[in-house]
Amino acid sequence: MEFFAPAKINLSLRVLGRRADGFHDLESLMCPVSLGDTLEVTRRAAGGLEFVCDDPTLPTGEDNLVVRAARLFCRTRGIEPHVRIALTKHIPHGAGLGGGSSDAATTLLALDRLHETRLARDTLAALAAEIGSDVPFFIYESAAVIRGRGERVEPVAFPHALPLLLIKPPFGVPTPWAYSRWKDAREIPGVPYATQTFPWGGLVNDLERPVFEKYIFLADLKAWLLAQPEAVGALMSGSGATVFAVLRDKESAAPLGARATEEFGPDLWLCACETLG
């Protein structure tokens, strides 16, 4: 069986404060998008868990989130693993697009279907929360408001297929570092941080402040996108390093992407996609 593991963007991300457990309380509107990885999950007659990935830079051992999710599911359900999982990657690393979290959540959903255990979403989300903060969001296969450290997920209707251009430079941003710098970071004069308001909601990300202080390239990229006629809004997703533009229409992606490459260099990763409600 083949499963789609979508990437996500944060249309809004507010950091409310640091928690006693070291995490931060958040409030964020997150949307899955039409970019995603693919997991092929099949039964394995020989027994055991086999995991392979087409990206040689990813570890495939016990630290991989897919492997952790599969082990957790089988252990909690009292199932001896007899499964092969093949992951095809399209979501880049260190991008703020939730690729690893989506792969882990999709593994839980896939094994639930494969073994016909028919677990409730809330039950799967509780397992997902043991793996990582963003993982529960992907269990619900919906736009959602997330709170707490990410484990409290409220699916919401978002019937807007927003055309997007995702742009990532050839570097990533470590998520723990971004949060550790949030409290003491300052705004850079002239950089646009204010909420961009639309009929469907607002674009704002509190992690732009710490990330832009160190990675000024991302601040320049966002400001440049906001000045382009094809873009109606622009924001960094999650802790970066992806900055996305909300476009006037799908056709705007190609000319905008071409100019971005001319302006910022040929090493940019670009992807035209849209939000999934």
Provide the annotated active-site residues.
Answer: 8, 134
Q: How many CA atoms lie within 13 A of 95 on its CB side?
A: 26
One-letter amino acid at 224 equals W
50 CB burial (10 A radius; 0-12, 13-18, 19+) = middle
The CA-atom distances, in angstroms, between 97 and each of 76, 101, 214 are: 28, 9, 20
Q: How far apart, in whole angstroms, are the C-alpha atoms of residue 239 and residue 210?
A: 9
